[in-house]
Amino acid sequence: MIDHVMRFCPRAMVVWFSSPLGIRNQGDRRQSLMEWIAAIAGLMSSESFDLVMVLIWCIWTERNAMLWNGKALELLEMHCKLQTWLHEFHKWHGPRKNTNVVTGQPRKCPENEWIQSNFDAAWDAQLEIGGVGVVIRNNKGEFMVIVAMRVEGVGSPLLVEIMAAREALIFSQHQQTTHVEVEGDALMVSTTLQHEGLNDSSPFGHIITNIRQILNDFSQCKVTFGRRSTNKVVHRLARLGLTLDTPVAWFEEPHDVII
């Protein structure tokens, strides 16, 4: 019974696949839940495994809420809760050191006629504020625009990541380009923007709809996922954004904090 609830029921399988881990292999039905967990633990970093454990707790909690209260969260709401719980876990226990080190790769310059707009976000749960960082580069890999800003009243890390993606596109529009590649290290946000299947009744549906409208203003637009190891500049900007009272932007020359 527990194996079906946590791995093989349709709801659980959708949750696993739509998570940042993108797990679609629930293992052999002859395996116990513990055996399956042990098997996937050897295939991922310690930080990713933290997410696995929080996912298991999330699936179990939501099933009980459905059973006893008759309420099922939208998938996006569920992942919002997931990210909040994971953030709280790391806040009190500290993120584990990554045992599977991914070597950083050289950044590729955008193609001719394209610009690349990278975004990242930071979140302060106690103050409910978010920090947004955006870096726009031309097809030679040169800085065009650097942005750092703070947003108020943000209740989840997922929301501030979505808002960061929106700001990246807005500043890209100001560059009067028709070809843009938008890249962030929030896999769920990138995947959501790549597909049209999001239910607009979800908590952030109106923001996603607005982002898609902005995407349609470009002749060509790509939304891609990049690991944090290649996204360090905007990560630093997002942390800076938490400390700012007003948005700041630099053009052509990067600020000292970036250098």
Query: What are the boundaries of each domain within the chain?
Result: 2-93, 114-251
Q: pTM for the complete prediction? A: 0.60
Share of the chain above pLDDT 90, in %: 12
Higher pLDDT, 255 or 217: 217
- Give 157-173 pLDDT, tens digit per residue: 888 889 999 999 999 88
CA distance 188 to 225: 9
Banded pLDDT at 96 (limits 50, 70, 90): very low
Whose tokens are 């580069």? That residue is 137
State residue 103's pLDDT score. 36
Strand pairing report for 114-124 and 179-184: parallel
* Residues 6+ away with beta carbon under 8 Å from 126: none
State residue 100's pLDDT score. 37
Most trustworthy range by pLDDT among 118-127, 179-188, 246-255:
118-127
CA distance 166 to 28: 41
State residue 130's pLDDT score. 92
Most trustworthy range by pLDDT among 18-32, 110-124, 151-165:
151-165
State residue 222's pLDDT score. 86
Average of per-residue pLDDT across 21-44? 78
Average of per-residue pLDDT across 183-201? 69
State residue 75's pLDDT score. 66
CA distance 204 to 160: 11
Beta-carbon count within 10 A of 52 CB: 17
- Give 65-90 pLDDT, tens digit per residue: 877 877 776 666 676 677 677 776 76
In 3D, which of 201, 215, 206, 227 has the Cα closest to residue 20?
Answer: 227
Domain 114-251 matching CATH 3.40.50.2300: the answer reads no
CA distance 179 to 78: 34
Both tokens assigned to 43: 């295939």
